[in-house]
Amino acid sequence: MPKPPVSKLVAQMGEGPAPLYARVKQMIVQQIESGTWPPHHRVPSESELVNELGFSRMTINRALRELTAEGLLVRMQGVGTFVAEPKTHSALFDVHNIADEIAARGHQHSCQVVTLAEEVAGSERAVALDMREGQRVFHSLIVHYEDGVPVQIEDRYVNAQIAPDYLNQDFTRQTPYAYLSQVAPLTEGEHVVEAILADAYECSLLQIEHSEPCLLIRRRTWSGRLPVTAARLIHPGSRHRLEGRFSK
């Protein structure tokens, strides 16, 4: 759908006592809610909005920053600002294959394997996987994409004794979850959820600003009594939410 010239949007901002940044936000929200700017639509740049609306860069920046924090926009470093997909969600208490979750939403999953290597377990990894320091562990770092947008960093350590062929797998065709479910079926899992700011490298992988909050899930899994994996799953806060339901 063609994008209306920014100058034609000025009339939609209205008058009133609202701060200028709030009026800019309202204008952008109207374009999104009306369907004029659908998901993945490129929003005018800060410079374009400054020139057309006549407001300061600080005003425009605050409007875009707040809409990003609220999950309506996605800002990708060096690329631009886009209308966000409605937030994806995962079950808080369950463990699922991210490729299946994305497919269930009618979207396309892809991934980039950044690291796939054998390492020696240090003290932290040894405790997480209930092994001795110095034992072999496998390390994979994978970025998962939904319709070409990065939605998760999967930083996973695997007990090499449980999955000795882990490094021989093509994880662009089958996720680590799917493979491990075959060789060491999940019987127990542990989740710890935190709000974090990703480091500079993680921000570059997720194509987000350093100031964007992220959801970090620390996950450990067992097959029977044997610990299988310890993973860090990092999601941009503007693109993901967790859901849970329980009964007493």
pLDDT tens-digit profile of 88-142? 555 444 677 899 988 988 899 999 999 999 999 999 999 999 999 999 999 999 9
Task: Note the pLDDT of residue 198.
Answer: 94
In this structure, the strands spanning 213-223 and 226-236 are antiparallel
Is 11 a residue whose pLDDT tops 60? no
CA distances from 158 to 82, 88, 152, 218, 233 (A): 36, 27, 18, 14, 14
Domain ranges of the chain: 20-83, 98-236
- Residues 65-82: tens digit of each pLDDT: 888 877 788 877 777 888
Q: Which CATH architecture has domain 98-236?
A: 3-Layer(aba) Sandwich (3.40)
Sign of CA dihedral 29, 31, 34, 37: negative
Higher pLDDT, 186 or 230: 230
pLDDT band at 1 (very low <50, low <70, confident <90, very high): very low
Token pair recorded at residue 52? 């057309």
Task: Note the pLDDT of residue 122.
Answer: 92
Was domain 20-83 assigned CATH 2.60.120.260? no
Higher pLDDT, 240 or 52: 52
Lowest mean pLDDT among 142-156, 181-195, 221-235: 181-195
Let me know if 178 is exposed, middle or buried by CB neighbors in 10 A (0-12, 13-18, 19+). middle
Is 22 a residue whose pLDDT tops 80? yes
Task: Note the pLDDT of residue 75.
Answer: 78
Going by C-alpha positions, the residue among 115, 191, 209, 102 that lies closest to residue 153 is 115
Q: Residues 6 or more apart from 53 whose CB is under 8 A from it? A: 6, 10, 13, 24, 60
Task: Note the pLDDT of residue 240.
Answer: 62
How many residues are recorded in the chain? 248
Going by C-alpha positions, the residue among 154, 150, 31 that lies closest to residue 88 is 150
> In Å, how far from its chain's centre is CA 199?
14
